[in-house]
Structures are given as structure tokens and as C-alpha cells.
Amino acid sequence: MGEALTEMSCRSFSSELAAKTPTPGGGATSALVGALASSLCSMAAQFTVGKEGYGDVEADMRRLISEAADLRLHLLDLVEEDAAAYASLSVVLRMPKDEPKKVSELEDALKTAAAVPIDTMHSVCRVIELLEEVGEKGSRLLSSDVGCGASFASAALQAASLTVFVNTKISIDCQWAKQLESSCALMINEYVPRAQLVVEKMADRVRRRG
């Protein structure tokens, strides 16, 4: 691939995503959506810093800004890593069935490919925790942005899990596959409802009249 995915314009990335090419795909897009969720978290915290009436949470907001920035950059790195991991996996998948090294190389490639969306999921879980905090402590004028961030984070978390499952499904290492799928389930079962609660709280806040 020529130009880095994360260096493309929105228009170019969406065009590349729509094309009949294997990358970028769902995994890379999940990481990108997670990065956008982190960006909205940072935005809400940025607008809280220095705002009258929020002096007691300024240190918290500065911490949130720093951590959200780290998560955003890490998730953007995962966009590229996902595409690279799939490219390596596709090479192995195209090997002849009678290639002696195919089984072992396929297992290695599957584990490398699954590691990226698992990393995405862990990172997005932390983004959700930060969104919870900024939703409670941050400027209420940014409530809709916090809610949007939580909605995106929930989608990214669930989408990344699908990229894990597509790799564990064809692995012959059943113990590894079960452990990874169990880890996914734990994150989804805990953090999707937490993200949804943030969405609902922010929706109630911005809909309120009087």
C-alpha cells in the first residue's frame, strides 16, 4: 500500500474503504472510530479547562486530555497495524494447501491479526471510562459531544470484536480461541452498557427544557 491510511483525507479513506480491496476493512475502521471517540472526549475536556465554575476539576480535565491524546494516537497506529496484519495473513491464506509450513504460519498470522482488534478493544474500554468521567465532571455545553463519543466507542468496541472472531473461528488452537473470545465477551458485556448509559445520560441532559 502506498499512502498511509491515517494520512489520507476523509474522502480518500472512505473511497479506499469502499473499493474492492481487502484493506482497509472493518478492523482498521473500528480503530479509527475508537480514535474519533477519544478525540471527542478530549474536546469536551479542552472546553472545560479554564471555564468558570469548573476550577475544581481542572486537574482532572488536564489528565483526561493527556490520556485521551495517548489513546487517540495509539488507536490511529492500530489502523495501520490492522491493515498490515491482514496483508500478512492473506499471504499465508493463499499458500497451497500442501505447503508444509502453512499450518504453523497460519496460526502465527491469525494470532498476530487477532492481537490488533483485541488491543483496539482494550483501548476503547479505557476511552469509555474517560467519557464517563468527562460526562460527569466536564462542561455541560459539550454533553452532546460526549454522548456522540460514547456511541462511537460502543460501536467500535463491538465492531472490533467481530475482527477477533473471524480469526479465532479458523484457528486450530481451541484454547487460545476460547480465551480470546471470552475476553471479548467480558469487555462487551461490561462496557457496551456503560457506554450506552453515558449516551442516555447525555441525551436526557440535552433534551431537558427549562
pLDDT in tens, 20-56: 988 899 999 999 999 999 999 999 999 999 999 999 9
Domain coverage including residue 88: 22-207
Q: Mean pLDDT in the chain?
A: 94
Domain with residue 119: its CATH number is: 1.20.120.680
Q: Does residue 7 fall inside a structural domain?
A: no
Are the C-beta atoms of 145 and 44 separated by less than 8 Å?
yes
Q: Does residue 11 fall inside a structural domain?
A: no
Q: Does residue 13 fall inside a structural domain?
A: no
pLDDT of residue 99: 83
Q: Does residue 46 fall inside a structural domain?
A: yes
Q: CA-CA distance, 87 to 47, in Å (whole number)?
A: 40
Q: Does residue 92 fall inside a structural domain?
A: yes
Q: Does residue 12 fall inside a structural domain?
A: no
- Categorize the per-residue pLDDT at 2 as very low, low, confident or very high, splitting at 50, 70 and 90: low
* Phi-psi category of residue 168: left, alpha or beta, with phi > 0 → left and psi -120 to 50 → alpha: alpha
Report the b/e string of 148-179 with b at 16+ CB within 10 A. Answer: bbbbbbbbbbbbbbebbebbbeebeeeeebee
How remote is the C-alpha of 179 from its chain's centroid?
Answer: 20
Q: Does residue 150 fall inside a structural domain?
A: yes
Q: CA-CA distance, 4 to 179, in Å (whole number)?
A: 32
Half-sphere exposure of 43 (CA within 13 A, CB side): 15
Q: For 82-124, how does the pLDDT look when each residue is reduced to its tens digit (9 = 90+)?
A: 999 998 898 888 888 888 888 899 999 999 999 999 999 999 9
As for how many domains the chain has, the answer is 1
Q: Does residue 140 fall inside a structural domain?
A: yes
4-18, 122-136, 177-191, 195-209: range with lowest mean pLDDT: 195-209
